[in-house]
Amino acid sequence: MTKQEQLKQEILEKTKEYYELVHKPMQDKKFVDGQTRVNYAGRVFDEKEMQYLIDSSLDFWLTYGDYSKKFEKALSKYLGVRYAFLVNSGSSANLLAFFALTSPLLKDRQIKRGDEVITVAAGFPTTIAPIVQYGAIPVFVDIELDHMNIDTTQLQKALSSRTKAVMIAHTLGNPFNIKAVKEFCDKHNLWLIEDNCDALGSTYDGKFTGTWGDIGTSSFYPPHHITMGEGGAVYTNNPLLKKIILSMRDWGRDCWCESGVDNTCGCRFSKTFGSLPKGYDHKYVYSHFGFNLKVSDMQAAIGCAQLEKFPKFVEKRRENRDKLYEGLKDLEEFYFVSAQPNSDPSWFGFMLVLKDKLNFTRNEIVEFLESNKIQTRNLFAGNITKHPVFDSMILDTDYKIVGNLDITNKIMNDGFWIGLYPGMSDDVINYMIKKIREFVKSK
Just list the catalytic residues.
224
Identity of residue 331: L
Q: Cα dist. 244→71, 158, 275, 282 in Å?
A: 20, 28, 21, 16
Q: Cα dist. 296→15, 61, 378 in Å?
A: 20, 8, 31
The DSSP bridge pattern shows strands 143-144 and 149-150 to be: antiparallel
The DSSP bridge pattern shows strands 149-150 and 400-401 to be: unpaired
CA-CA distance, 249 to 63, in Å (whole number)?
13
354 contacts: CB under 8 Å, gap ≥ 6: 333, 334, 335, 360, 361, 362, 365, 414, 415
CA-CA distance, 255 to 265, in Å (whole number)?
8
